[in-house]
Structure 1
Amino acid sequence: MTSFIDLNLYPDSPVSETADVTTALTLTVPKLEPKEEPFDELPQSHNNLHTNPNLNYTNPNLNFTLNTQADVSHEHVNETDVYSEFNRISKMFQTAFSGKAEKFDDNRFTDPDSRAIVPVPEENLHTAVADSSRRKNQQRSGELVRVTNLGFEDERYFRHVVRKTRMMYDSLRVLVNMEDEKRKNSHVFGRSRSARGDLRAATVMKERGLWLNRDKRIVGAIPGVYVGDIFFFRMEICVVGMHGLPQAGIDYLTSSQSSNGDPIATSIIVSGGYEDDQDAGDVIIYTGHGGQDKYSRQANHQRLEGGNLAMERSMHYGIEVRVVRGFRYEGSPSGKVYVYDGLYKVVDSWLETGKSGFGVIKFKLIRMDNQPEMGSAILKYAESFRKGSLQSMPRGYASMDISMKKENMPVFLFNDIDDNHEPTFYEYLATSVFPPFVYHHGGNGNNGGCNCFGGCTDGCFCAKRNGGDFAYDQSGLLVRGKPLIFECGPHCRCPPHCRNRVSQNGVKNRFEVFRSKETGWGVRSLDLIQAGSFICEYTGVILTREQAQLFSMNGDSLIYPNRFGERWAEWGDLSQIFSDYERPSYPSVPPLDFAMDVSRMRNVACYMSHSVCPNVLVQLVLYDHSNIAFPHLMLFAMENIPPMRELSLDYGEADEWTGKLSICN
């Protein structure tokens, strides 16, 4: 399918020639303020973190054509549906201040790198983007485009770009936090204060030109970002180009950037920062910005200016806006989550007296049809399920725990399609079964292990086995993928909660094996899984090559680990950040010359589907023996995985033994 970029050139707004200009000029124009989020206060030094970056978005395999025809509605606002005072102020503002709005813009929140709209050249999109990406410190564009009709390969490409950018951001953030921990524990530096990891990671990526969608202002859906995608930090939303401002609740093209002097809103953050907000899911009553004091209390009347005027103009032209919801979430590293819930249309606006007695501008937004279910609704459903507060159990649960309590958390079986309950026929295997000779190779355990009674610290024996640094941070997140990770073993004196025992302590999330019309059986979580988190082990009965050849003759189900995609190398890949970055090569691991029999004994991982753009990676780990030829296959999240989203692996290419994929059920 051909992909199109629609360049929206907005016509001049209808302006009343009879408006009272004298009255308008006497209006008090307050200092514009962004609609700030209550729990994401940023230091002053980070107010300009959203400027200048650009990512090389080129892909020679994509063939885009351009459609420069305007694609917006030019219907006039139905004035009978809008509060009369609101209309009066709106017309006065447009008559008196048209073309002069930047005089009243607050320079702290008006993008200093803006420029006028520049039409997209009539040439291949990626060639144009490639040329612009070579310009260092590129300014944030005022060019409005809408990306439509993406084909399958296009969707996959852009998803890969977004996922790679998010992995880079998460890896940087974890790395910065680890370095901060080291400084705090150092006698030399003491407990000096340092920048938050999320802010520092965003700053570094901005300096390297790695923020997405800065060379164009996208109206509507962002290619590669799915409805339901979850973010833990506001800065990450800025990095991927969903919302361009670190704190302001309304992101918009300013009047000075617009071709006709009208500001246009492109996205909003809904997080309950204003007392007059009302959120019913598909319908939102959104309060405009401005009029709040330093304690986030409404203390003045709002005006139809800045982002408020942009929202009204988007309503006038029928321009959709992206909606991201933010709310408190237990277990989040920031205390909050932000969920992309899709596209909404602004259908009404009015001025009324708010709860605090001051005039507030309200906008009614309705969610557009034919979109996936809202991510925020799925989060709330999953939370209700975990807490047992659902009024009734959904139909289709065939088992409440196929692991029979062998896992720390239950593994549900769900099938509302047919009567197939096959996963209950297998014996559940929580950890792989290795041949006895494996434990006699090179001594048992870790050859004595570490002596860290309270938990491993930097420089201990097990840290040195891993090249001097631990593989996990204090929260148990994978810092960087490696060919092999040595965890503390049975001969180490550290406790079970040691930071170097992450994968051997079992699963921490509630998983569900479910029946799918597309993939047969699949796996999803009832919990939100943070990027870098341990998921589970891929288990089976380990067979030597000779045994595997015999078993395959009988048609048994075998897994070939040597063909799994080396996705571990992508996690923590900072080659675009550091010019001297090298892919980890220590320790050197021989080719995995074994197979896994899952024909009779298996676990939840065996039901994960294959994907060339997976959200789960395989990391090799040793902890209960020292034979590097027979490691455990541990699975970690490559991105933030929302509840009820299917987990997927890269099973690799055809195997040289059998000519089949890694898994052949």
Structure 2
Amino acid sequence: MDSLIDLNLYPDPPPLTPTTTTATTTSAASSFIITPKIEPKLEPFDVPPLPNYDNNLNFSPNPNSCSDNLGSIPHAQPDENNVYSEFNRISEMFRTAFAQEAQNQHDYPVTDPDAQAIVPVPDEEHHNQLATSRRKQQQRSSELVRVTNLAIEDERYFRDVVRKTRMIYDSLRVLVVFEDEKRRSTLSIGELERRARGDLKAASVMKQRGLWLNRDKRIVGAIPGVIVGDVFFYRLEICVVGMHGQVQAGIDYLSSSQSSNGEPIATSVIVSGGYEDDEDAGDVIVYTGHGGQDKNSRQVAHQKLEGGNLAMERSMHYGIEVRVIRGFRYENSPSGKVYVYDGLYKIVEAWFDVGKSGFGVFKFKLVRMENQTEMGTAVFKFAENLRTKALEVRPTGYISFDISMKKENIPVSLFNDIDDNQEPMYYEYLVKTVFPPFVYHLGAKGGGCNCVAGCSLDCICAKKNGGDFAYDSNGLLVRGKPLIFECGPHCQCPPSCQNRVSQKGVRNRFEVFRSRETGWGVRSLDLIQAGSFICEYTGVILTREQARLFSMNGDALIYPNRFGERWAEWGDLSQIFTDYERPSYPSVPPLDFGMDVSKMRNLACYMSHSSCPNVLVQLVLYDHSNFSFPHLMLFAMENIPPMRELSLDYGVADEVTGKLSICN
């Protein structure tokens, strides 16, 4: 493995050239600044401080439970060797070189001449005691480190850690809201309370369980496992993965009281237009410091060079990069806003200026570092333009604007600007899976529910699911199960029923595209929320005997029993509850059939394989009752940004050919 130690974290500090409006030191600034009311730089739609939910977990950890009277649940204790316990596997490699450079500049004394941590670390015994104390109290570390030169296997490892942590957060948040909806349905109008904040409760519970990442190290630069373009619907989720440690403040920094040399260091900023003097040109940002605002976000006093402002100036002095997360309004977000990680920026200039309101503000010029992937916010804008004026944005490359030929609710485009391959045009587009006629002979036609106004938890379809619906009121999958029963054609409930989700078809704008890395692939022009339905994996169902004959003819077959059981990961709260059990109801027989996609298929057939997928396969029944022949419905395992490729775990390879069950 390559070394993870960066020996050049701090180059010579850039000069700070004063101007008529520039204050470069605390004394210079304070000589003409009226003492303001200092407030943290808050962001629109920010969250209140985290409440303590430790003794108020009133939802069931048992996915098979049908009880509505769910008392307090004991929680799982964090395990030191657990994958979520602060990246312990290679935390010792997180040391970086700052001490020697700082000693050369006489900034502070170095206790150990061989130390390579930004903040000197105590002796091992004392450090272990402090680490234990930090785990118990969930305090953030003052050890400032940087991770570099990760090997490919480590990058995959950390990506998986972040992915699993975010799945816990998302599925726990959905479960909190789902249980609150059930509770509210039993209350009278006069008894109704405020709706539960699933984002607050999920973050609070995970913090108490020790599941917040990067609490044992304060990371400078890129966070292992988080990639440029990752999207977050909630501010607290950014805190959970360790991208930004402040719940409300826009500047995250190591305070001077924690730093061994008494100087604060900034590590990340959130840019969302919270200050009127901010200027955002993408690669270049003029970021306004914090302080001097009233509760209505109006600038009413001068700012001081202290706290986060001083940390930004010190980061500029030492040449330390900061992470930039942009927040902006988004119509289809459950919170009304999204946060996008846009990469690393260097602070190249700092000055004191008169703001638009006439008060003194500190400004910092941030410039995006080179050799990074495209900004996530730029991709958002590009995808938005594609949705409205595709040919203006990309005049060449489109083979078809709808390969489904209006069979899907929303057109599925076909794009190839690499070669002249037009293979997807040669197949008939198949919206729903074709089952053999005998599959529909099982069960009586009148076996549906009689919920004319909408289904309730005591209806027959809910009882088939173990007494609960599989989806919340927004159509998000609450937890993966071996099999889900949706209301079908013989049910009396309306199309808007909460228990009708996957049967409604595609709801996002998808594009099948040609890729140099994966051949054909699939991406969305829309942001897809974790737990959302994507599409069905369709084909013509063949019995085992038929599949053998077709495979002899060289036809393209998919074997559903080889798909990875990723459904079990969505809603896996074993890290939260000690008595969590993997869903086992209903028991489904092995899927002993093949799926022919040699002549008819849909967009799902072009999804690429990944050992760390963002899409899962969930088995669903709604139009017949034969457990042996379910529909293969696809759901998002994480928030999927626009233009990011969708991937599946196609599972084990064929015993004969050694190839995965993937047709492209």
- TM bracket, shorter-chain basis: 0.7 to 0.9
- Is the CA contact 1:237–1:243 (under 8 Å) kept in the aligned structure 2? yes
- State how 1:21-420 maps to structure 2 within 5 Å: 29-42=35-48, 45=51, 55-57=84-86, 65=93, 68-70=96-98, 117-119=119-121, 135-187=135-187, 190-193=191-194, 195-388=196-389, 391-420=392-421
Q: 2:19 matched to which residue of 1?
A: none
CA deviation profile, 1:222-263 (whole Å, cap 9, x unmatched): 000010000000000000000001110000000011121110
Q: 2:564 matched to which residue of 1?
A: 565
- Is the CA contact 1:558–1:664 (under 8 Å) kept in the aligned structure 2? yes
Q: 2:600 matched to which residue of 1?
A: 601
Secondary structure class of the residue paired with 1:170 = helix
Instruction: Identify if the C-alpha distance between structure 1 residues 20 and 392 changes in structure 2 by more than 3 Å, giving closer, same or farther.
Output: closer
Q: For 1:70, give the aligned amino acid.
A: F
How many Å separate the matches in 2 of 1:389 and 1:357? Answer: 44
Which has the larger displacement, 134-143 or 292-301?
Answer: 134-143
- Is the CA contact 1:350–1:362 (under 8 Å) kept in the aligned structure 2? yes
Instruction: Identify if the C-alpha distance between structure 1 residues 664 and 383 changes in structure 2 by more than 3 Å, giving closer, same or farther.
Output: closer
CA deviation profile, 1:573-627 (whole Å, cap 9, x unmatched): 0000010000000000000000000001000000000000000000000001000
CA deviation profile, 1:555-589 (whole Å, cap 9, x unmatched): 11000100000000000000000100000000000
Q: For 1:418, give the aligned amino acid.
A: D
Instruction: Identify if the C-alpha distance between structure 1 residues 57 and 288 changes in structure 2 by more than 3 Å, giving closer, same or farther.
Output: closer
- Is the CA contact 2:556–2:663 (under 8 Å) kept in the aligned structure 1? yes
Instruction: Identify if the C-alpha distance between structure 1 residues 20 and 195 changes in structure 2 by more than 3 Å, giving closer, same or farther.
Output: closer
Instruction: Identify if the C-alpha distance between structure 1 residues 620 and 72 changes in structure 2 by more than 3 Å, giving closer, same or farther.
Output: farther
1:450 matched to 2:449? The reply is: yes
How many Å separate the matches in 2 of 1:492 and 1:65? Answer: 59
- Is the CA contact 2:284–2:367 (under 8 Å) kept in the aligned structure 1? yes
How many Å separate the matches in 2 of 1:20 and 1:268? Answer: 21
Higher RCO (CA-CA < 8 Å; seq separation 6+) = 2
Q: For 2:651, give the aligned amino acid.
A: G
How many Å separate the matches in 1 of 2:507 and 2:600? Answer: 21
Instruction: Identify if the C-alpha distance between structure 1 residues 149 and 75 changes in structure 2 by more than 3 Å, giving closer, same or farther.
Output: same
CA deviation profile, 1:291-311 (whole Å, cap 9, x unmatched): 111111111111111101100
Q: 2:504 matched to which residue of 1?
A: 505
- Is the CA contact 2:327–2:337 (under 8 Å) kept in the aligned structure 1? yes
Q: For 2:121, give the aligned amino acid.
A: P
| Structure 2 residue ranges without an equivalent (≥5) | 17-24, 55-76, 110-117
RMSD, matched Cα: 3.4
TM-score by length of 1: 0.87
How many Å separate the matches in 1 of 2:12 and 2:525? Answer: 49
- Is the CA contact 1:8–1:144 (under 8 Å) kept in the aligned structure 2? no
Q: 1:624 matched to which residue of 2?
A: 623
How many Å separate the matches in 2 of 1:504 and 1:233? Answer: 29
- Is the CA contact 2:475–2:532 (under 8 Å) kept in the aligned structure 1? yes
Which has the larger displacement, 556-565 or 435-444?
Answer: 435-444
1:586 matched to 2:592? The reply is: no
How many Å separate the matches in 1 of 2:391 and 2:415? Answer: 16
The alpha carbon displacement at 1:38 in A equals 1.8
How many Å separate the matches in 2 of 1:398 and 1:389? Answer: 12
Instruction: Identify if the C-alpha distance between structure 1 residues 559 and 12 changes in structure 2 by more than 3 Å, giving closer, same or farther.
Output: closer
How many Å separate the matches in 1 of 2:414 and 2:11? Answer: 55
The alpha carbon displacement at 1:194 in A equals 5.1
Instruction: Identify if the C-alpha distance between structure 1 residues 565 and 11 changes in structure 2 by more than 3 Å, giving closer, same or farther.
Output: closer
Secondary structure class of the residue paired with 1:136 = helix
Instruction: Identify if the C-alpha distance between structure 1 residues 45 and 119 changes in structure 2 by more than 3 Å, giving closer, same or farther.
Output: same
How many Å separate the matches in 1 of 2:566 and 2:151? Answer: 25
How many Å separate the matches in 2 of 1:498 and 1:563? Answer: 32
Q: 2:71 matched to which residue of 1?
A: none
Instruction: Identify if the C-alpha distance between structure 1 residues 543 and 277 changes in structure 2 by more than 3 Å, giving closer, same or farther.
Output: same
Which has the larger displacement, 398-407 or 130-139?
Answer: 130-139
TM-score by length of 2: 0.87
| Structure 1 residue ranges without an equivalent (≥5) | 78-94, 100-115
How many Å separate the matches in 2 of 1:419 and 1:64? Answer: 50
Instruction: Identify if the C-alpha distance between structure 1 residues 76 and 307 changes in structure 2 by more than 3 Å, giving closer, same or farther.
Output: farther
Secondary structure class of the residue paired with 1:423 = helix
